[in-house]
Structure 1
């Protein structure tokens, strides 16, 4: 029986590339996306009977119900690619409550809604969960605080989920792409820094904007990695994709270990005993 994939953010970027690969491999794809024109385009391009298109804003109040009902009508899910999200960059102080709430609604709460809607079917199929994070789900740069926090939440939710699902046979992998040439840059929200944050946030945003095209990886590499991991009997919990992701995550982990070692004596010092 052909496998069934549910892919969110299926109309652009990594989601679109994975959708195309899964269809080419003969899978049935439940493709979830917000844009009607791009959903219609996917339907036209897909082999007949291989796609179930769902036009849906995953932050809508009924999103979980819509996904649940769709999974029930299709009958199964073998692979979930929980990929929908967007970027938000700016200083912590200047990003207001509405902006912060919106990025967590999309990147974290919508992700959870999709998990709740699909996990019963994934347990039944002993399936795969692939959660799209980012290299900055492991650390933060100036300007990335809120976005990194949302991806950090996905990382820890996914790690706990992997432990919780281990007896069921469902495998969870967190995909941590580096910097790739997708539509991410055109869809992200940037809050321009004021004078206070110009030397940090402003400089970082300027440096990123001046990167040459060759600094951005081929997004097909991420789609290929997702397809490979989905087929592994024992996939990794985390997979960094791209040389920059490996480099920066490794540097962050080494820095944290160095700091842990440096301050270990203070961490283990006995509490002060008052007379």
Structure 2
């Protein structure tokens, strides 16, 4: 029996590339996205009967029920690619409450909606969960605070989930891509900094905008990595993809360890009593 995959954010970027690859293996794909025209394109590409398209806003109140019904109709689910999300860059202070709420609703709460809708079927098949994070799910740059926080939330939710699901046979992997040439940059929201943040947020955004095309990796590398991990009997919990992801995550981890060591004496000192 062919495997069944559910892929969110299937109409562009990594989601689109993985959808195409999964279809090429003979899998039945439930492709979830908000763009009807892009979903129609996938139908044209797919062999007859091997794709189910679902036009859905994952933040909608009925999203979980719609997903549950779709998975039930498919009869099984073997692989979840929980990939939908968008970027938001700007100083922490200047991102207002509505923008902050929106990024967490899409990148975190909708991610949880998808998990709740699919995990019963994935437990039944001892399937795979792949959660799309980012290299800045492990640390933050100037301007990335809210976006990095949303991806950091996905990272810790996924780590807990991996522990919780271990006895069931379901495997969880967090994909941490670096900088790749997808539609991400075209779709992200940027809040331009005021004078107070020009030396930090402004400089970072300007430097990033000046990166040459060769600084952006081929997104096919991420799609290939996802396909490989999905097939592994014992996949990693985290997989950084791209040289910049490996380099920056390693540097962040080393910095945190060095700081932990530097302040260990204070950390372990008895609490000072106050009079």
What TM-score, normalized by structure 1, do the two folds share? 0.99
Correspondence for 2:27 = 27
What is the distance in 1 between the residues matched to 2:271 and 2:60? 50
**Cα deviation digits, residues 188-234 of structure 1 (max 9, x gap):** 00000000000000000000000000000000000000000000000
Alpha-carbon offset, residue 45 of structure 1: 1.1
SS of residue matched to 1:80: strand
**Any residues of structure 2 matched to 1:105-120 within 5 Å, and which?**
105-120=105-120
**Any residues of structure 2 matched to 1:136-155 within 5 Å, and which?**
136-155=136-155
**Cα deviation digits, residues 136-170 of structure 1 (max 9, x gap):** 00000000000000000000000000000000000
What is the distance in 2 between the residues matched to 1:80 and 1:137? 20
Correspondence for 1:193 = 193
Correspondence for 1:251 = 251
**Any residues of structure 2 matched to 1:176-187 within 5 Å, and which?**
176-187=176-187
Structure 1 runs of 4+ aligned residues shifted over 4 Å read: none
Correspondence for 1:157 = 157
Q: Give ranges in structure 2 of 5+ residues lacking alignment.
A: none
What is the distance in 1 between the residues matched to 2:13 and 2:233? 26
Correspondence for 1:238 = 238
SS of residue matched to 2:259: helix
Alpha-carbon offset, residue 272 of structure 1: 2.1
**Cα deviation digits, residues 109-152 of structure 1 (max 9, x gap):** 00000000000000000000000000000000000000000000
Alpha-carbon offset, residue 19 of structure 1: 0.1
What TM-score, normalized by structure 2, do the two folds share? 0.99
Correspondence for 2:209 = 209
What is the distance in 1 between the residues matched to 2:271 and 2:166? 39
**Any residues of structure 2 matched to 1:24-173 within 5 Å, and which?**
24-173=24-173
Deviates more, 1:265-274 or 1:59-68: 265-274
| Residues 121/255 of structure 1: CA separation in 2 closer, same or farther (3 Å cut) | same
Alpha-carbon offset, residue 22 of structure 1: 0.1
What is the aligned residue count?
Answer: 275
**Cα deviation digits, residues 39-61 of structure 1 (max 9, x gap):** 11111111100000000011111
| Residues 198/62 of structure 1: CA separation in 2 closer, same or farther (3 Å cut) | same
What is the distance in 2 between the residues matched to 1:199 and 1:130? 37
Alpha-carbon offset, residue 274 of structure 1: 5.5
**Any residues of structure 2 matched to 1:264-275 within 5 Å, and which?**
264-273=264-273
Correspondence for 2:16 = 16
What is the distance in 2 between the residues matched to 1:122 and 1:16? 22
What is the distance in 1 between the residues matched to 2:221 and 2:28? 22
| Residues 274/34 of structure 1: CA separation in 2 closer, same or farther (3 Å cut) | closer
**Cα deviation digits, residues 60-114 of structure 1 (max 9, x gap):** 1111110000000111110000000000000000000000000000000000000
